[in-house]
Structure 1
Amino acid sequence: MNPGADSEEVRVGIEARDRYHIMWLAGVRALDLTQHCLKTFGECDRHRVDTKLRRQTLRLSAANPPAAWYLCALPIPWDWSRNAHLAFEYAPGETWAGDALVRGLGVHLTNARPIMGWGEHSIPRDAPMRNSRLHRTCRNWQFAWWLRTHRDVPDAQMFTAKDISEEGPEQLSFS
């Protein structure tokens, strides 16, 4: 462990070697497996990530850690195979450095470790929407199924229309 590193804090150093259109970090607390992309993580803590910065360090409280954190970045120009993804969990005293699934986004974790071994194989054969290409190929959805089967992360509460912002839900669309 680094001297002076606070074990009640997770540090995420991000080095963007490519340009990204969208980048976000979510602390996953509950799932909505009827959705894909960010909405898969039905209840999550959102942390600000600045796509304009080549290097940045995020500090996340570990006082009440989520089931996992998930970093996602979509490159410019968009190319599914170059989307960056990294799932990680609180691990006091541990550090890790590497790429977020692709070589364009380097990450250094302090007091955390990556969660590996998830993918399309994490989706149960009888899962609703498994045959939907949008769901099956969504790495967020794949990881959400891993969280469900390995960590028993619960379903998110469903909201009524009055709970939803008039501006509507956040959407990711590539036409």
Structure 2
Amino acid sequence: MNSGATLERVRVDIEARDRYRIMWLAGIRELDLTQHCLKTFAECDRYNINTKHSRQTLHLPAANPPTAWYLCALPIPWDWARNAHLAFEYTPGENWEGDALVRGLGVRLTNARPITGWGEHSIPHDAPKRNSRPHRTCRNWQFAWWLRTNRSIPDASALLAPAADEGGPEQLALP
């Protein structure tokens, strides 16, 4: 991939126009489709974002990039329909600016582009846990299935996969 040229980092500029309880960015390398929410991305490079800052910039390494990055933010008060999500990938020379699925979280990407076209339709009809509402409605899990189908991203080792923590902040129950 690198023929001696300098790899350009990915720059992510975030502008939070609403208040968020949780906000994180994960560089996805492996999946655990037995989990939902952040735990779906079993092996990931995790970047915490300070929800107290309305504007911030992250610089992500271009060397050995993950298959994709995924930005997730849960608003205050929590409302599933207002959860912000943006999947994107390293693409040198490309830039993008827009909202992360919903208005309220603006993002500008440098050397990256969004990955679109995923959703509940990305989940195979015979997928285990498809009928589990927390899994089926989880946008992280929907995107993970898109990655499985379109990018052949590997499963995490069963021995290394973390145990389910249904009470953790990333595992919010739907009303």
TM-score by length of structure 2 reads 0.89
Find out whether 1:110 has 2:110 as its counterpart: yes
The alpha carbon displacement at 1:171 in A equals 1.9
Q: Report how far residue 170 of structure 1 moved.
A: 8.6
Q: Is the CA contact (8 Å cut-off) linking 1:118 and 1:142 kept in structure 2? A: yes
Structure 2 distance, partners of 1:90, 1:142, is 20
How many residues align structurally? Answer: 166
- Deviation per residue, 1:104-156 (Å, 9 max, x gap): 00000000000000000000000000000000000000000000000000001
Between the aligned partners of 1:79 and 1:64, the Cα distance in structure 2 is: 35
* Distance in 2 (alpha carbons) for counterparts of 1:157 and 1:105: 34
Give % identity. Answer: 74
Q: SS where residue 45 of structure 2 aligns?
A: strand
Work out the CA distance in 2 between the residues paired with 1:113 and 1:170: 33
| SS of residue paired to 1:127 | coil
Q: 2:70 maps to what in 1?
A: 70
Q: What is the aligned partner in structure 2 of residue 3 from structure 1?
A: none
CA drift of 1:159 comes to 3.3
The letter for the 2-side match of 1:135 is H
Equivalents in 1 of 2:155, 2:35: separation in Å? 12
Task: Give the CA deviation at 1:157.
Answer: 1.9
2:3 counterpart residue number: none
Aligned match of 1:40: 40
| Native 8 Å contact 2:91 2:111 kept in 1 | yes
Q: Name 2:97's counterpart in structure 1.
A: 97
Secondary structure of the residue that 2:155 maps to in structure 1? Answer: coil
- Name 2:8's counterpart in structure 1: 8
Structure 2 regions of 5+ residues with no counterpart? 1-5
Cα 1:152–1:23, aligned 2, differ >3 Å: closer, same or farther?
A: same
* CA displacement at 1:8 relative to structure 2: 2.6
Counterpart of 1:119 in structure 2 is: 119
SS class of match (1:143): helix
> What residue is the counterpart of 2:61 in the other structure?
61
Following superposition, which runs of at least 4 residues in structure 1 exceed 3 angstroms of deviation? none
Aligned with 1:124: secondary structure? coil
Aligned to 1:87: 87
User: So what's the TM-score if we normalise by structure 1?
Assistant: 0.89
Q: Which consecutive residues of structure 1, in runs of 5 or more, have no partner in the other structure?
A: 1-5
